[in-house]
Every structure is written in C-alpha cells, then in structure tokens.
Chain A
Amino acid sequence: MVSIRQQLTSPLQWVALISAALILLPLGYVAALALAADVIVWQRLWATRIPELLANTVSLAATVSLLTLLLGVSTAWIVTRFDFPGRRLWEVALVLPLAMPTYVLAYVYNYLWGFGGPVEQLWQALAGPQSHLFSPQSFWGASLVMTLDTFPFVYLLTRSALLTLNVSFEEVARTCGASRLETMWRVTLPLLRPSIVAGVALVVLYVVSDFGAVSLLRYQTLTYAVFQQMTGRSDNQAASILSILLVVLALLFLVTERWFRQKSRFYQTAGRYRAPERTRGGWLQNASLSAYLASIVGASFGVPAWLLVVWTLSPEAQEALDGRFFGFVWNSAVLSASAASVGVLIGLPLAYLAVRKPTWLNMSCLQAAYAGYVLPGPVAALAVLILFLKLLPFLYGTAVVLVIAYVIHFLPAGLQSLEPSLQQITPNLEEVARTLGSSVRETWRRVTFPLVRNGFIVAWVLMFLQTMKELPATLLLRPVGFDTLAIRVWLEASEEYYRLAAPSALLIVLVGLPALALLLSRDWRAA
C-alpha cells in the first residue's frame, strides 16, 4: 500500500482532499450539533414529533414503492414485450413525468383532485352528489402524487434490463417445458429483480428527501419537519436532530440495498443480444394496452402539462409576465450555471483520482462526495447555514452560500456521469499516445479531453437542471428578496394562485425536457 506521505505529493491530490473535506465538514457539523444537544431536547422530540414523523415517512415510502413497482414493471413489460401501434411513442412518453418537479405535480393535483375540483365533480356525477374522494392533502394524496412522479425510475431501469436480458434464458426455459407465463414468473422476473430493486431504491430516496410535494400537500415527513423547525421555530438544534435521523434512515436503506446488490452481483443477464419476441394482438388487446398507458401518462404528465399551458395563457398569468418575471428567470439561470460549473471543477479531480489511482484515500474522497446523495435539500441547507453562521457569518445571506449548498447537494448527480466517462478511457489509450510522441499535456488535450468532453457536458447540464428546480435549500438560504422560478411556483401555489404559478412552472418543465433527453440517450441505445 502506498503511504499517505507519498500520495500527498500531487497537487491534484490536495484539491481532491480539500473538496472532500469541504463537503463533509457541514455534514459533520450537523452531526456534532445534534449529538451535543441536551438530552432533554432529544427526549422532547422523541416524545412529541419523532414517532409520528418516522411512521409517516416510512409508510409513505413503502406505499409509493409498492405502487411504483406495479406501474413501473407493468409499463416496462408492455412496451418491451408487446407490439401495437404507437408503442414507440408511449415508450418515450412514459419518461416525461420525470421532467415535472414534485411541487408542480402536487400543486396541479391540489386543484385537480381538490375540494370542488374537476375530479371530484366527475366522481360526484358518477357516485352521487354527497360522495367524496380522499383529499389530495392526505396520506393517499401524497402517495398518489409521488407515485405518478417517480414510477419512471422503475420503468426506465426495468425496461433497459428487459431489453438487454439475454433471451436465451427464456428460450431455454421454454425448451424445458415451461409455458410463457411460467417462464415469466420463474425466470424473467427473478432475473430482473436487481434492476427493479435499484429502481425502487431511487424512488425511496426520492420520496424520503422530497420537500416540494409534501409541503404543498401538508403531509408531515421528516424532511418537511426539518424545514419547519428551521423556519417556523428557528430551532436549528432540533432540526439537526431530525436531520441526523433522516440521514441514518437513508443510510440504513442504502446499506440494505447495497447488500442486496452484492448478493446478486453475479447476475450476468446480458449476453448475445437478440431482440425479444414481441406479442402482437388483436384490436381489443391493442386498445386496452393503449388505454392503460394513456391513462398513466395522462395522469402523470398530459393533463397537468395541459393545465399549465391553459393557465399560462390566461389573462391573469399573462399580466404577470413582466420585467420581474424575467428577473426570476435570470436569477435561476445564473445560480444554476455557477453551481454546475463549480460542481464540474470539484468533481473532476475526485473522479479522475478515484478511477485512475484507486487507493483507499482517493476512494474515500469520492465516497465523501457522494454523501450529498443522502442529504435531503433542507438538511444540506441546514448544514451549510450553521457552518457559515459559525465560521464566515459575513457571507450569510449571499448567493455564495446558496451555490455551496447546491454543489454539496448535486455533486453526486454530476459525479455519476463524470465517473463512467473517465472509466471508459483505458490507460492504454493515453499510453499509446505517449509512445506516439505526445507529451503529457498534449495527450490530455488530444486524447483524454475529447473522450471525456461529453461526460463533462452531461454532468454540467444535469447539475444545472437539478439546481434550476431545487426548492427547499433555495427557500432557506436565498438572499432576501432574491426569487427564482422554483420559489415563485411554490409561493404562488401555497397561496393557491394556480394561474400565477403556471408560467414559472411551465418554464421549469420545458427546461427539464432536454435533461430527460440526455438521461435517456445513455441507456436508450438498446431500443
């Protein structure tokens, strides 16, 4: 093993170490604050809020994962194993909900499903004037909105697993006498399990750390409670304790998921690629499949998007499209661009060292950077906030604090596309350039950089767009009077000014679409 002293000779190493420390410091500080809290504070929280919050959070995550499992796997199965007119269209359309931030979908559903809304009117026309559906501001409301927003994670991963699944497994099962249905239960689904679990894991992390939907639907989860402690009561200590609980919950879950993945690591399901056989059916089958997919896409994207367009075109909203509105757009763009640029600059040395010199030091730096993965927005904000109040109070209330919170929060998203793009260049490529007479710098410019460029761009765009729609950290840390598009949507929607919120919401959704295209282009090849 290389000693630490030897490793510290490279300046790149220092950059990586400092970045990792900067990312871990706020988290450590939150933990320290929580652990230093008086036992009485812990006891008070434990007696009053924690049991309810934990139960709410866990039951929401469980319900949403079950529902996304059903929706995600069934839709993936339909688009990969059946052939019917419009299949390719649905294949893409099923991803669209990912472009819709949870707070946008929540606010649209507040109207759609709310008291006296279109859905209730329809329901009363069918079931009688006295009947009521569950309110959107309830457990079931939150479950519905979160499910519609996150099932594409399961859909995407299951779909690509189904497309790359070696068809020989199914064929050999058939020659062993298993029917189509039996083959699905005994072979295909067990082989898809790792991908399905990975998809559900994304859903759970997303649900646990979501702030937008639960705040607009007034459903108490841990993440929402952290925010309330910070704003309503200005009690950072209580917020720290809840944050730590939240992080531990997420970590516990991640460890379980990792363990499961280790167990099924040997699932080499890919192989010689042969397109799976698609079932063709009569008009009745085609119509029912189309209707099923249409209702899912309609509920999760079609109807909400259409409502946003209608509201944006209303005179009320048109009036609000003045200089102030473009100021919000500008604020959002500048913030997102700076966060993305800083993120790429910090992420590059971390990813490069971990890929090229995978010593334990470099690997732990990279792992540290992934810590933001389990930090919900309010927690990241809290961490940065209390650290700056303590160390650099004069920066508090400036955009700098905000950018740092974004970087900590979204660096994992960037790293996830930086890392593979570095991994795909084997050292041999650089070495062959050296034997052909290129210097180190020239090799970097002519070989390495052109190869990783696309990964850079993808990382930048992903961080830009994530920041664009970020809500809780922005709410907590923004300079006074500094509004972004996401803030406007949330503020107007909280006051139930549905029409006024629409232009900002629509813009966020539209800007999110290219990010989707980027995400998809990576695993769409198999189609």
Chain B
Amino acid sequence: MKDERRPARDEVNPLAMQPNLYTPASSVLELRSVSCAYEPQRPAVHDISFGASEGEILCLLGPSGCGKTTILRAIAGFEPVRTGEIFLSGRRVSSSSETIPPEARRVGMVFQEYALFPHLRVADNIAFGLRQHSRAERRHRVQDMLHLTGLEGFERRYPHELSGGQQQRVALARALVQNPVVLLLDEPFSNLDPDMASRMRQDLHVLLRRMKTTTILVTHDHDEAFAMADRIAVLNKGALEQMDTPERIYHLPATPFVADFVGQADFIPGTVKEGLVETELGPFPNTARSPEGASVVVMIRPDDLHLFPNKAAACRIVSRQFRGSENLYTIRLASGQLVHCSESSTTVFDEGTAVDLRVSATHTVLFRHGPL
C-alpha cells in the first residue's frame, strides 16, 4: 500500500469503493438492534445490528469489556437478548421472548482455551457432535476433518498429549465437522506464542476459504483482525463504532476511538480557514466540510509523516524506537505536541536532531475532537 502512495489527495483508490455493508437478503447471520446482558459481571451491548453473508469472515474487534464476547455468546445462544432479534439462515433464533437453545442452532464454537474434552481421544472429541450419524459416516467425516486440519496420525491421542497448535486444530475440527451454519471463534490465537499464532492464522484462513464457512471471529488484536477478516466491526463500550473493510478501518476510521485502537495515531488540532484546515503541520483539505472558524483535529498515522534533518527546524526528535522493519520516531513540535513518524529501519537519526516534517497522506481524516 505504501508503495502506491502518490501526493495527489483526491485520486480514486481502493478505499473509496463502498463494500456491500448491509445485505439482509443474503445474510447467513443477521443481528437486528440486539441489546443484551444486564448481569453486572458481563459487559452489556446496546442496539447492535449487522449481518454476515455466506462464506464471509467477520471480525469483532475491541478492547476487553467492550461486549464482543457477549455478542458471540448471544449468537451461540448462551446469552439471552433483551431486545432485538438474531437470525441464522433466515430462522429467528433469539428474541426478547424466545431463545432457541445452543444445541438446536447448528453453530460451531471454538473457545479461547479450546475446551477439548480431556476424557476423550482426538477422534472422539471431533466425533462428539455426530451422534445422529451412522458409525461409518462418523468415521468418514472424522477422517476428512483430520485430513483437512493436518491431524492425521493423532486420532488416538488424548488432548493433553498435543501441543497448543494441535489442540486448536482439534477444537476447529470438532466445530467444523458438523457443517455449522456459522463458526464462532473466541480469541482463538491468544493462547499460542506469536510465531505459532501467525502460522495458525494463515492455515485457518486457507481452511475457512476452502470450506466457505461463514465465520465470526472475536479478538482484541487489530493485526489479527487485519490478517483474517473480510470485514471488521469495531466495538467500544457495548456499541458498534464502525463496520468496514480492514483497509478502510485503518485509513478512514469513523471515530477517534477506532483511529486510536487499530494502530498508532496522532491528533493534530487545527482551525478551518478559507476552506482549508490550518495546522502546525500545514494545511489540510476540509474533508468534513466543517464551517469556517471551527476547531477540528487531523488524524495522522506514523507512515503519513516523513522527516528531513534541518538545523533550522523547530521540531526535535525526542526518542527512537527500533522495530526491526522500521524506526519509530517520537517528535516534539514547536507547540510541545508529540507526534510519531516511521522511517525505514536503515536510516538512523540521533535523539535531539532538529527535523522538518512533511505529510504525504492519500486522504485526510478529520474529527471534532481527539479520542476521549
């Protein structure tokens, strides 16, 4: 993405294309104004509406306590809804008056800690939900799943004899073997070490694409959401802040919260003058069409800024953080405000260096105020 960036500000780019955000007719899963949970120990959610179409991977992203797991549990049928309705394949499964039990919903669920039955072998764990099928059919399906998840040869093992990654694959196999209408994943990678997590992410992505399984994934890690999701729903304090493609969530966040949550962001105050937003870093187009004289903030990502050493400049490098593929500099502006700037990892400037800053963003994001 960075390579494609050009100075022109209003060109047509992939971010400008509106994805099909809300298509109830083709939805496998649909939530209509769902509110739930008034127990004190669980986060409440208010008035959530979204849908997921066939084969889509949808990610619920937010900080802990934002209600993302509550929504997942409401879809599974563990959490009654107070108002609103949930539909699975066009069938109403939750409403304020009725909650169809989880066993009658045909959802597959993978828990954060996998919850493999410790008293059953891998094959029996996977076959757990296949009681109604014949013995031959069961064996056939389990073999298929073992093959798909790369677990051949492990069917006689007990869960405690498997590594974390293998356990996760068993949990996935157990959920997928029933051909669920929707697959629910609750922070599936949080118990794995980072290397293993990124490998499992890729494998899972391939597997879900191949099986065309509609998936709802809950996570607090935006990198994970970016890597996996077709669309991301960002949640905060029980409310839906934005629902969009990963690219648009990152570059065109709808709220300061989203901007701040999905990556490093700085908020530069400015004032609207003669159709432009005047800031310390120069003028920006008034994309929000704010009235003349209004004070607004401009969101800047570190990769939108470039620094050039200049002895006469008023900005100073405060610190440098080496991140492997890049250097992240913290820079103090003349007003005292701190901003961040990422440069290639091979050019190194010392702390205290006076620098000029240049903005090269393809788009300008304006808010009335910074994150609260």
Q: Which residue of B lies closest to A269 (CB)?
A: B118
Is A317 close to B, CB under 8 A?
Answer: no
Contact A174–B101 (Cβ < 8 Å): yes
Instruction: Point out the residues of chain A lying under 8 angstroms from B111, CB to CB.
Output: 168, 171-172
Chain A positions 265 through 305: 1 when the CB is less than 8 Å from some CB of chain B, otherwise 0: 01111011001000000000000000000000000000000
Given contacts A176-B128, A266-B158, A266-B160, contact A171 B119 (CB under 8 A): no
Contact A175–B109 (Cβ < 8 Å): yes
Chain A positions 161 through 190: 1 when the CB is less than 8 Å from some CB of chain B, otherwise 0: 000001011011111111110000011001
Contact A173–B119 (Cβ < 8 Å): no
Distance between Cα atoms of A268 and B113 in the complex (Å): 11
Contact A169–B115 (Cβ < 8 Å): yes
CB distance from A377 to the nearest CB of B (A): 38
Is A247 close to B, CB under 8 A?
Answer: no
Report which of A168, A175, A180, A190 forms a contact with B113, defined as CB distance below 8 A.
A168
CB distance from A172 to the nearest CB of B (A): 5
Is A502 close to B, CB under 8 A?
Answer: no
CB distance from B125 to the nearest CB of A (A): 10
Distance between Cα atoms of A178 and B108 in the complex (Å): 12
Is B107 close to A, CB under 8 A?
Answer: yes
Contact B118–A268 (Cβ < 8 Å): yes
Interfacial residues of chain B within 152-194, with CB under 8 A of chain A in the complex:
158-160, 171, 174-175, 178, 180, 184
CB distance from A169 to the nearest CB of B (A): 5
Distance between Cα atoms of A264 and B78 in the complex (Å): 29
Is B145 close to A, CB under 8 A?
Answer: no
Is A379 close to B, CB under 8 A?
Answer: no
Contact A175–B102 (Cβ < 8 Å): yes
Contact B129–A178 (Cβ < 8 Å): yes
Contact A175–B107 (Cβ < 8 Å): yes
Is A458 close to B, CB under 8 A?
Answer: no
Contact A176–B113 (Cβ < 8 Å): no
Is B86 close to A, CB under 8 A?
Answer: no
Is B50 close to A, CB under 8 A?
Answer: no
Contact B108–A175 (Cβ < 8 Å): yes
Is B2 close to A, CB under 8 A?
Answer: no
Report which of B78, B129, B158, B184 forms a contact with A177, defined as CB distance below 8 A.
B129
Chain A positions 332 through 358: 1 when the CB is less than 8 Å from some CB of chain B, otherwise 0: 000000000000000000000000000
Report which of B77, B105, B115, B175 forms a contact with A166, defined as CB distance below 8 A.
B115
Chain B positions 179 through 218: 1 when the CB is less than 8 Å from some CB of chain A, otherwise 0: 0100010000000000000000000000000000000000
Distance between Cα atoms of A172 and B159 in the complex (Å): 15
Contact B76–A175 (Cβ < 8 Å): yes
Is A191 close to B, CB under 8 A?
Answer: yes
Instruction: Point out the residues of chain A lying under 8 angstroms from B119, CB to CB.
Output: 190-191, 193, 264, 267
Contact B78–A171 (Cβ < 8 Å): yes
CB distance from A469 to the nearest CB of B (A): 39
Instruction: Point out the residues of chain A lying under 8 angstroms from B180, CB to CB.
Output: 175
Is B103 close to A, CB under 8 A?
Answer: yes
Contact A187–B117 (Cβ < 8 Å): yes
CB distance from B141 to the nearest CB of A (A): 13
Report which of B41, B103, B158, B175 forms a contact with A174, defined as CB distance below 8 A.
B103
Contact B115–A171 (Cβ < 8 Å): yes
Instruction: Point out the residues of chain B lying under 8 angstroms from A186, CB to CB.
Output: 128
Distance between Cα atoms of A275 and B107 in the complex (Å): 22
Q: Which residue of A lies closest to B112 (CB)?
A: A272
Is B6 close to A, CB under 8 A?
Answer: no
Is B131 close to A, CB under 8 A?
Answer: yes
Contact A174–B102 (Cβ < 8 Å): yes
CB distance from B222 to the nearest CB of A (A): 23
Report which of A168, A177, A193, A266 forms a contact with B115, defined as CB distance below 8 A.
A168
> Which of B41, B105, B111, B132 has most A Cβ within 10 Å?
B111
Distance between Cα atoms of A203 and B108 in the complex (Å): 41
Q: Total contacts A to B, CB within 8 angstroms?
A: 79
CB distance from A211 to the nearest CB of B (A): 38
Report which of B41, B101, B118, B129 forms a contact with A176, defined as CB distance below 8 A.
B129
Distance between Cα atoms of A269 and B159 in the complex (Å): 12
CB distance from B361 to the nearest CB of A (A): 42
Q: Which residue of A lies closest to B127 (CB)?
A: A176
Contact A191–B115 (Cβ < 8 Å): no
Q: Which residue of B lies closest to A172 (CB)?
A: B115
Distance between Cα atoms of A172 and B116 in the complex (Å): 9
Contact B78–A176 (Cβ < 8 Å): no
Distance between Cα atoms of A254 and B9 in the complex (Å): 79
Distance between Cα atoms of A190 and B128 in the complex (Å): 14
Chain A positions 187 through 203: 1 when the CB is less than 8 Å from some CB of chain B, otherwise 0: 10011010000000000
Contact A169–B103 (Cβ < 8 Å): no
CB distance from A345 to the nearest CB of B (A): 41
Instruction: Point out the residues of chain B lying under 8 angstroms from A175, CB to CB.
Output: 76, 102-103, 105, 107-109, 129, 175, 180, 184
Contact B113–A177 (Cβ < 8 Å): no
Distance between Cα atoms of A145 and B78 in the complex (Å): 43
Distance between Cα atoms of A271 and B114 in the complex (Å): 10
Contact B174–A268 (Cβ < 8 Å): no
Contact A171–B113 (Cβ < 8 Å): no
Chain A positions 247 through 270: 1 when the CB is less than 8 Å from some CB of chain B, otherwise 0: 000000000000000001011110
Instruction: Point out the residues of chain A lying under 8 angstroms from B128, CB to CB.
Output: 173, 176, 178, 186
Contact A176–B115 (Cβ < 8 Å): no
Contact B109–A177 (Cβ < 8 Å): no
Q: Which residue of B lies closest to A277 (CB)?
A: B78
Contact B118–A266 (Cβ < 8 Å): yes
CB distance from B184 to the nearest CB of A (A): 8
> Which of A171, A272, A275 has most B Cβ within 10 Å?
A171
> Which of A171, A175, A187 has most B Cβ within 10 Å?
A175
Instruction: Point out the residues of chain A lying under 8 angstroms from B113, CB to CB.
Output: 166, 168, 271-272
Distance between Cα atoms of A185 and B32 in the complex (Å): 36
Instruction: Point out the residues of chain A lying under 8 angstroms from B115, CB to CB.
Output: 166, 168-169, 171-172, 271
Given contacts A174-B103, A175-B175, contact A267 B118 (CB under 8 A): yes
Distance between Cα atoms of A187 and B129 in the complex (Å): 12
Distance between Cα atoms of A216 and B335 in the complex (Å): 92
CB distance from A269 to the nearest CB of B (A): 7
Distance between Cα atoms of A272 and B73 in the complex (Å): 15
Distance between Cα atoms of A179 and B132 in the complex (Å): 13
Instruction: Point out the residues of chain A lying under 8 angstroms from B41, CB to CB.
Output: 275
Distance between Cα atoms of A275 and B42 in the complex (Å): 11
Instruction: Point out the residues of chain B lying under 8 angstroms from A169, CB to CB.
Output: 115, 117
Distance between Cα atoms of A235 and B115 in the complex (Å): 59
Q: Which residues of B contact A (CB under 8 A)?
A: 41, 76-78, 101-109, 111-113, 115, 117-119, 128-129, 131-132, 158-160, 171, 174-175, 178, 180, 184
- A and B contact pairs by CB, cutoff 8 A, 11 listed: A171-B109, A174-B101, A174-B103, A175-B129, A175-B184, A178-B128, A178-B129, A178-B131, A266-B158, A266-B160, A267-B119
Q: What are the 10 A-B residue pairs with the smallest beta carbon separation, nearest first?
A: A176-B129, A266-B160, A168-B115, A174-B102, A175-B109, A168-B111, A172-B115, A190-B119, A177-B103, A177-B129
Starting from the known contacts A173-B128, A180-B101, 7 additional A-B residue pairs (CB-CB under 8 Å) come to A173-B117, A174-B102, A177-B104, A191-B117, A191-B118, A266-B118, A268-B160
